[in-house]
């Protein structure tokens, strides 16, 4: 069974990362969600990645705040796509989590998304796009959603626009 694995460094990340789960649910994409830490539970993290791959994980989404580099740790243990979501925080204006996610050594890539909720949602959309490479139904669903968003934007504009 193919699915997306969502990992987050602490329960405080759940509110934001549940948005990624919601996007996946909207496309009918199965997912697992787990709290694990690159630093507080490294064995749990490593074991989960191995088990998830054996069960059919195709993409990993990893979120952590501060410099708790969960996405990098995940990428060290898998060759599947890893999408990193830096979490917002008060320390260093969230730059610590952004830099720890985006600055990866050559050969161990992490696709890094925006900080926080938008990043979580876009990580899920990107995971769906990756899966859609081999799934015509998902590809069609993505195109249909984009069309619905365009139609809504045009409708919203018509309700307020002033054009000379």
Known binding-site residues for substrate equal 10, 13, 40
Q: Which residues are annotated as a binding site?
A: 10, 13, 40
Q: Alpha-carbon distance 121 to 127, whole Å? A: 10
> What Å distances lie between residue 127 and 83, 154, 160, CA to CA?
8, 27, 35
The tokens describing 41, both together, are: 């539970």
């Amino acid at each position: 069974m193919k699915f997306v694995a969502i990992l987050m460094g602490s329960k405080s990340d759940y509110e934001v990362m549940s948005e990624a789960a919601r996007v996946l649910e909207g496309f009918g994409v199965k997912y697992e969600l787990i709290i694990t830490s690159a630093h507080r539970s490294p064995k749990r993290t490593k074991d989960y990645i191995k088990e998830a791959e054996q069960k059919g994980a195709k993409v990993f989404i990893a979120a952590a705040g501060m410099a708790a580099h969960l996405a990098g740790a995940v990428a060290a243990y898998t060759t599947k796509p890893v999408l990193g979501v830096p979490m917002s925080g008060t320390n260093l204006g969230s730059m610590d989590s952004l830099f720890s996610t985006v600055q990866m050594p050559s050969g161990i890539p992490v696709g890094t998304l925006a900080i926080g909720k938008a990043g979580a949602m876009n990580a899920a959309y990107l995971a769906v796009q990756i899966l859609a490479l081999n799934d015509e139904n998902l590809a069609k669903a993505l195109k249909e959603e984009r069309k619905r968003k365009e139609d809504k934007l045009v409708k919203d504009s018509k309700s307020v626009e002033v054009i000379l």
